């Protein structure tokens, strides 16, 4: 469990009337009496890709805030309705040009340090097999893309990506 504060809304997003408070299962919930809409705070999800080849892992250097100029594993938010496995394939293709053939679940972490989407789930997969040529496809998002020896990684920003790096270092 991490400590994050959900947004407090003043008005119903559907009818614009002022929200009220109701008690549901001993919890206070913001609620619209007109629409009968209840606000359940929830977090977003992101997917990260751990791509290892010959003892080296693929990382991208951020071109944007937060953590601009630090390195991370290729990653992105899950689109609405998208399965995280589809996010993995889409994001890796978008950011690296590589086409994922085989992967396995690695770890699920929480990201308390992202002001854009506090507390989002960060789902990491390890890529077992891929094809294609490496290219920095998304220069708006990444200023660089590079393989690093697992025992000599660059400066990583995100907490969750640092945790994954520690696991890699301790298991490789
Ligand atoms: Zn309403």
Per-residue confidence (pLDDT) for residue 15, from 0 to 100: 98
The enclosing domain of 151 has a CATH number of 3.90.79.10
| Whether 10 and 75 share a structural domain | no
> How close is the Cα of 39 to the center of ligand 1, in Å?
11
Nearby residues of 26 by Cβ (< 8 Å), 6 or more positions away: none
Mean pLDDT, residues 39-68 taken together? 96
**Segment 62-82, tens digit of pLDDT:** 999 999 999 999 999 999 999
79 shares its domain with 164: yes
- pLDDT at position 72 is 98
Same-domain status, 53 and 23: no
Residues 74 and 131 in one domain: yes
Same domain, 107 and 157: yes
State the distance from the centre of ligand 1 to the C-alpha of 11, rounded, in angstroms. Answer: 8
Residues 33 and 50 in one domain: no
110 and 134 housed in the same domain: yes
Q: What is the pLDDT of residue 136?
A: 84
CA of 118 to the centre of ligand 1 (A): 25
Same domain for 65 and 137, yes or no, is yes
72 and 64 Cβ atoms separated by less than 8 Å: no
pLDDT digits (tens, 9 = 90+) for 93-121: 999 999 999 999 999 999 999 999 999 99
pTM: 0.92
CA of 27 to the centre of ligand 1 (A): 20
Claim to verify: residue 130 and residue 55 sit in the same structural domain: yes
- Residue 5 gets which letter from DSSP? P
CA diameter of the chain = 60
63 and 51 belong to one structural domain: yes
Centre of ligand 1 from the C-alpha of residue 29, in Å: 14
Q: What is the pLDDT of residue 36?
A: 96
Domain that holds residue 32: 1-42
Q: Mark the residues whose beta carbon lies below 5 A from ion ligand 1.
A: 12, 14-15, 32, 34-35
Six-digit token string for 35: 């629409």
Q: Given a cut of 90, is residue 38 above it in pLDDT?
A: yes
Ligand 1 centroid to 12 CA: how many Å? 5
With 0-12 / 13-18 / 19 or more C-beta atoms within 10 angstroms meaning exposed / middle / buried, residue 171 is exposed
| Burial annotation 136-145 (CB, 10 A radius, 16+ → b, else e) | bbbeebbeeb
Contact 168, 88 (CB under 8 A): no
Question: Does 78 share its domain with 157?
Answer: yes
Domain tally, the chain? 2
Report the distance separating Cα 135 and Cα 44, nearest Å: 28
Helices (H), the chain: 84-96, 159-171
Q: Ligand 1 centre from 23 Cα, in Å?
A: 17
């Amino acid at each position: 469990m991490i400590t994050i504060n959900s947004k407090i809304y003043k008005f119903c997003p559907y009818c614009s009337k002022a929200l009220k408070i109701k008690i549901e299962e001993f919890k206070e919930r913001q609620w619209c009496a007109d629409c009968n809409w209840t606000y359940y705070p929830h977090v977003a999800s992101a997917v990260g890709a751990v791509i290892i080849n010959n003892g080296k892992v693929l990382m991208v250097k951020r071109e944007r805030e937060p953590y601009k100029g630090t390195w991370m594993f290729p990653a992105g938010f899950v689109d609405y309705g998208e399965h995280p496995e589809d996010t993995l394939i889409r994001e890796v293709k978008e950011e690296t040009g590589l086409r994922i053939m085989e992967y396995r679940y690695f770890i699920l972490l929480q990201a308390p340090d992202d002001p854009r989407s506090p507390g989002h789930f960060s789902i990491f997969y390890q890529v077992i097999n891929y094809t294609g040529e490496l290219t920095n496809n998304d220069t708006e998002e990444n200023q660089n893309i590079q393989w690093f020896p697992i025992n000599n990684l660059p400066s990583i920003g995100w907490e969750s990506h640092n945790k994954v790096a520690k696991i890699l270092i301790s298991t490789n």
